[in-house]
Structure 1
Amino acid sequence: MTYSEDKKTKEISYSSALSKMQFICSRQEKCCSDIRKKLENWNLSYDDQDKIIQSLIDDKFIDENRYTGFYVRDKYKFNKWGRIKISHHLKQKQIPESTIMEAFDSISEEIYEENLEDILSSKMRSTREEDPYKLKAKLYRFAQSRGFESNLILRNIEKILHKDE
């Protein structure tokens, strides 16, 4: 048996799983889907998984609103991601749309656009494209890959290209 096979079939008791999850959640924000994946790897029954997750929620180890708020602020501030990319990643973690929208309300629209302008300006300085149409296309694709909205991207590309004039 290989190490990875051994790791996948690891079994653990209910009480041990609960205490490990409490420790993990006390050290770092987690959402229910992250915890569920971990518990599934430990081959716990679905009933035990549900009980552990409910216990973690009841004891405030897991709070989806708190998790989403931290996730949005971190990805926006440190990774320079836009709303689309952040939202997509949170939806993959089965976070409700209403919770995601509530977390986005904590981001200032002005700072959000300044962030986009900064990453576009930085990309423009590092790009050696002479053709203005190809430059715009590169900048657009770059900002889109970071998860920013099309209308904001186009407006900010125009803004930074006309700054020098």
Structure 2
Amino acid sequence: MESNIPGFLINQMMPKLEKYCAFQERCVSEVKTKLTRLNVPREYWESLLTHLQENGFVNEERFTELFVRSKIRQKGWGPVKIRMELRKKSIADSMIDNYLSDFQPEDQNELLLSWLRKKLKTLTKDEPLKQREKLVRFGISKGFETGKVFDAVNKIIKAQPED
């Protein structure tokens, strides 16, 4: 494999790429972006990517699993936003579906309700219609399906004590 890669790429670029991939989980599209920034000729990309994949530095499945898990747990993103971001990174829909299927609808609803309750506390006591509008926009921006957002907002507004 490495016989068709010039020595300077093996000696100079490969350690940089390995370090880049070891620092944080990466997907192929991110590595390609890095190769562009490093001005590596395209003719060597495939060989370099193959080396990184064969040596465990790049693994799309592992990347997708960790991306989905971290965006749910740390960022509180919904499935719509996660899917959109993974598509930007050229991850296959089948792989996205596989890992998003672990994000159960009940868990999605609980996460959405939690975010909306937090958001509601930060809103001024506007007209109920304005509050509802802000909550809906917020829920959709977090990446949840529109129908689920409306249902959750209605549930929270109904549970809110009347002043």
2:4 alignment partner in structure 1: none
| Distance in 2 (alpha carbons) for counterparts of 1:55 and 1:128 | 55
| Distance in 2 (alpha carbons) for counterparts of 1:51 and 1:106 | 34
1:112-127 alignment to 2 at 5 Å? 112-127=108-123
Q: Which of 119, 129, 132 is residue 128 of structure 2 equivalent to?
A: 132
1:94 alignment partner in structure 2: 90
Q: Alpha-carbon deviation of 1:107?
A: 1.6
| Distance in 1 (alpha carbons) for counterparts of 2:9 and 2:19 | 14
Q: Indicate whether 1:17 and 2:13 are aligned.
A: yes
Q: Alpha-carbon deviation of 1:50?
A: 1.4
2:141 alignment partner in structure 1: 145
The residue type paired with residue 77 of structure 2 is: W
2:3 alignment partner in structure 1: none
Taking only aligned residues, the RMSD between alpha carbons, in angstroms, comes to 1.6
The residue type paired with residue 73 of structure 1 is: R
| Distance in 1 (alpha carbons) for counterparts of 2:63 and 2:155 | 35
| Distance in 2 (alpha carbons) for counterparts of 1:113 and 1:46 | 45
Q: Indicate whether 1:34 and 2:30 are aligned.
A: yes
1:43 alignment partner in structure 2: 39
Judge which range, 127-136 or 88-97, deviates more.
127-136
Judge which range, 65-74 or 127-136, deviates more.
127-136
The residue type paired with residue 46 of structure 2 is: D
1:56 alignment partner in structure 2: 52
Q: Alpha-carbon deviation of 1:164?
A: 3.8
The residue type paired with residue 133 of structure 1 is: L
Overall identity of the aligned pairs, in %: 28
| Distance in 2 (alpha carbons) for counterparts of 1:13 and 1:135 | 60
1:102-113 alignment to 2 at 5 Å? 102-113=98-109
TM-score for the superposition, normalised by structure 1: 0.87
1:7 alignment partner in structure 2: none
TM-score for the superposition, normalised by structure 2: 0.88
Deviations along 1:112-142, one digit per CA (max 9) or x if unpaired, are 2111001101111110133111111110001
Judge which range, 51-60 or 29-38, deviates more.
51-60
The residue type paired with residue 14 of structure 1 is: L
Structure 2 alignment gaps of length 5 or more? 1-6
2:150 alignment partner in structure 1: 154
Q: Alpha-carbon deviation of 1:109?
A: 2.2
